[in-house]
Amino acid sequence: MILQFFFWLCIFAIFHSYVLYPLILQILAFRKHENSIIYSFDDNLPPVSILVAVYNEEQSIEDKIRSVFAGNYPHLKIDLIVGSDGSTDKTNLILDELTKEFPQLHYRASKQRTGKGNVLNAIIHEAKHELLIYTDAKVILRSDTLYQLIKHFREPSIGLVGGKLLNKVHIASGISIQENAFMRREFILKHQEGMIWGRMVGAYGALYAIRKSLVPIIPVSFIADDFFITLKVFESNEKAILNPDAIGYLNVPNEMNEEFRRKVRIAKGNFQNLFAFLHLLWPPWKGSAFAYISHKVLRWLGPFFILSILVCNFFLLEKGFIYVLTIYIQIILLFIPAVDYVLRKFGIHILFLRFITHFYGMNAALLAGFFKYLKGNKSNVWEPTRR
């Protein structure tokens, strides 16, 4: 009886995180409205400091800088600070040239790699203004992106505003379609969480704004700095929301191996945050805790649920036909990534199969990230994903 209960509990945990929770959000957000206390262009817009940590971004850094100053936010109110983390390509030379064209651009170059968190910890001291925007070199901004990120800070209770990333590339041969669908769904959930509880569970580090007074020192060994900072905002009882109109363009990875490597690294950071912020999981019926558990924690534990369901199922085969059916379903699903791999070699790409492959790939990355977390971490040095 206990084994049966645990079996169905694990199934429910996965179902709740991926199906039931989004439906609950949709219902709760039905009559909710966006924050209406905002800056307009007619107001005296506040100045903003933009922080960018880069490593070997010669292919994207110039387009990034130009997209900042091509926007409609008053240029004299922009303070752009780039931290180059031991770049060995032409990144620093390009930044040298751009500082001549844009006096609001400043950059700090280190000779050795120190990690993204340490770069951000260093350059924040050079930020002149209370409102900060964190963004990545590969994210190209729209003309109104800065305004859309900043406008909500007229409401004093809002501490963090996340942006939305759009991908223009969709290639059937890889996982860009599946990854794009996953991200699009994530932005919907985060937007709804912000409207309902003021607790968007996790800003995307590639594009978000925050009050400088809320930014903590990022621990040397922490990888997922954006999630760490978001949870610190929760601790301060400030609101974290997502503005779907604050748009940046970013090509998602298309190669499975490349994305798997990135997700393993993120998963390791997720488990760092999970154990560092266990107190935020209680009481579980509180809005922020319920969102955190449903949206993130249950997903992070997904590979353990999947393995537990499979193992329990073998011991329950004599309990009835339903358990024979569930074991066959699991075996078929587990074989689909292998079938998808073989078909891909022949140039055959079936979206439904690729979505299942993507799901199992994400969970495999979570499992690998958990074991890397157990080994410990002494650095948050990163290798940019090829996009």
Q: CB-hemisphere CA count at 13 Å for 347?
A: 0
Residue 94 is which amino acid? I
pLDDT value, residue 143: 95
Integer Cα distance of 265 and 373 in angstroms: 9
Element (H, E) at 319: none
What was the pLDDT predicted at 384?
Answer: 61
Q: Quick one: pLDDT at residue 382?
A: 58
pLDDT for the residue 254: 65
Whole-number pLDDT of residue 385:
59
- Which residues make Cβ contacts (< 8 Å) with residue 49, sequence separation at least 6? 79, 80, 81, 127, 128, 129, 131, 132, 133, 212
In whole angstroms, give the CA distance from residue 191 to residue 135. 19
Task: Write down the pLDDT at residue 26.
Answer: 96
Looking at residue 57, its pLDDT comes to 94
Between helix 256-276 and helix 225-235 the angle, nearest 10°, is 30
Q: What are 209-228's pLDDT values in tens digits?
A: 999 999 999 988 888 899 99
Q: 313-338, pLDDT tens digit by residue?
A: 999 999 989 999 999 999 999 999 99
In the chain, which residues have pLDDT < 50? none
Sheet with 207-211, strands from edge to edge, namely 105-110, 78-85, 48-54, 131-135, 207-211, 158-166, 239-249, 140-141
User: 158-166 and 140-141: which strand pairing?
Assistant: unpaired
Can you give the pTM of this predicted structure?
0.92
Element counts in the chain: helices (H) and strands (E):
14, 8
Domains of the chain: 1-387 (3.90.550.10)
pLDDT on residue 41? 84
pLDDT the model gives residue 133: 98
pLDDT of residue 378: 62
